[in-house]
Amino acid sequence: MRSYAGVFVGHLVFAAICCSAGPVFLFVGYLAWLDDAGWSWVVSALGVGSVGTVMIPVTAFTITRQDFPRITRRDRVKGESGSYGDDTFVMWAPRSEEGPADARLVRADVLEASFVRYNPDGEATFTTYVGNYVPAEFTPVIRLRLRVHDAGDGDEAAGSAGCPGFEITDQWRVPPLCLSAVTAGRLVVLVGPAGPEARGKVTVQWPRSTLLAGTRTCRVIDLEGRWTDVTRRPGRQLEQMRISRAAGGVAMAGDTIDIRRLGAETAARYGALADRARAFPEDQAPVTEPGEEARWLADRLPGEKGAFGSVGRRWSRHGGHLVRARFLEMHGTTTFQDHGPVLDTVLRIHPADGTPPFDATRRLTVPMNYLAVLHRTREVVLHVSPNGMSYVIDWARTNLLAGVTAARVIAPDGQEFPVTGRPDVIWPLMNLLASHALSNTTPVLDLRRHRMGAVAGAVMEVVRGVGHR
């Protein structure tokens, strides 16, 4: 894994080359002073040279902070930890195109998904746009085969007849923040009124789809102040969306809708829906719909591949260790990198020494392959400095823990044990390797290698012990 010092030195050299005019002006000003040139010339040259020279370390520090995912004390949320619970995830996603007023809002299941193209220009490390939108060059194109439901499918409240379901295959630009809705397999679409020779236009509502997929958590506070978790309850959520759309939009404060703040008519409709949900409870939908393998895009999207991780010997000997954190919030910005959007995030970090967790806010580039599985996990792995003063997000370990990359262990006798999607196995293995200063920069842990002999027994105890619980 790259070190902060190494990245800073690289950017310092780059900044020195780009701002080389600063030292040159300083030197020219010094020569002018020696030659008793006019003071106006000396002051001008020294002034320009000083500004240009100071900009070298400032620029290097700024770019390094933007490029290197390190969290320090300056990033901690001041005062008490935020109001979000440990199981909360708030996402501020880009707006979708609004269909015609008489369009039907219904559920669509993703039957198949295939990667088509993603072609950023790649001319700059970071690209910033003006305006609140996702540019086409930083939005992957995905071909989707959808089963669009009848407006009344599984939803007694809709009760709409004469709107049969159908299948459609087309290409859509999927905002990176909403890729997990495709993997989960549940989307919200608007179906426009049908014409004389063709069915109506299908418009995917991406922010609403992340709600239906369960990526974003959702709670409702009723008129009596009682709150209900409606995450992954698609029937109720769809009807809430229809009520909100009819009202011209209902704001969510974080992940919560407080119907006490709504107009009387809208609040009454929400209240009736809540009463019906209590009388006829809806089971939570699965984290991902059946057939996920036909929708798996993570291995085709940009981002660091998963691995058990690299380890610096000095870092390990002096007490460096790994901890886990969890995203509580993601907010899109107008800056993008080739392998992922730059997001304003809030993380809850759980120190290894048992001290209370704390929240940190940090602008980070989040890789697209991680965003594609955000409905399953929001956890990340952090590389903690020996002095405990800084935390660096390790995307290789994070993606392996999240199941982005297939992981397996090869026993000394050659027997293979797949551990993909088993964080209770992968996490202790990562810590075991880190504590012994053993790097393994692939998702395959081969215990037949001589250098793995010291931990082979302990690794197999973890793999077999957890596997037989």
Q: So what's the pLDDT on residue 49?
A: 67
Q: So what's the pLDDT on residue 159?
A: 35
82, part of any domain? no
The Cα 376–Cα 339 span in angstroms is 20
57, part of any domain? yes
- pLDDT band of residue 162 (cuts 50, 70, 90) is very low
Residue 442 has pLDDT above 90, yes or no: yes
The reply to whether 99 and 232 lie within a common domain is yes
| Phi, psi of 287, rounded to the nearest 5 degrees | -60, -40
The reply to whether 212 and 251 lie within a common domain is yes
Final residue belonging to a domain, choices 239, 273, 293: 293
The reply to whether 180 and 278 lie within a common domain is yes
Verdict on whether the full-model pTM lies above 0.75: yes
The reply to whether 99 and 161 lie within a common domain is yes
The reply to whether 113 and 53 lie within a common domain is no
DSSP string, 121-189: --SSSSEE-SSSS--GGGS-EEEEEEEEPPTTTT-TTT---S---EEEEEEEE--GGGHHHHHHTEEEE
The reply to whether 186 and 325 lie within a common domain is no
334, part of any domain? no
Residue 24 has pLDDT above 90, yes or no: no
447, part of any domain? yes
The reply to whether 268 and 311 lie within a common domain is no
| Total number of domains in the chain | 3
Q: pLDDT of 92-142, one tens digit each? A: 877 777 777 788 999 999 999 999 999 887 656 788 887 766 788 899 999
In which domain, by residue range, is 101 found?
Answer: 91-293
75, part of any domain? no
76, part of any domain? no
74, part of any domain? no
The Cα 113–Cα 295 span in angstroms is 5
Final residue belonging to a domain, choices 53, 68, 83: 68
The reply to whether 447 and 385 lie within a common domain is yes
Q: pLDDT of 354-383, one tens digit each? A: 889 999 999 999 999 999 999 999 999 999
Q: So what's the pLDDT on residue 360?
A: 95
Residue 168 has pLDDT above 80, yes or no: yes
- Cβ atoms of 176 and 291 within 8 Å: the answer is no
Residue 281 has pLDDT above 60, yes or no: yes
The reply to whether 179 and 247 lie within a common domain is yes
Half-sphere exposure of 33 (CA within 13 A, CB side): 12
The mean pLDDT value for 291-308 works out to: 95
343, part of any domain? no
The reply to whether 128 and 198 lie within a common domain is yes
The reply to whether 260 and 317 lie within a common domain is no
The reply to whether 180 and 287 lie within a common domain is yes
Q: So what's the pLDDT on residue 469?
A: 40
3-state secondary structure of 409: strand
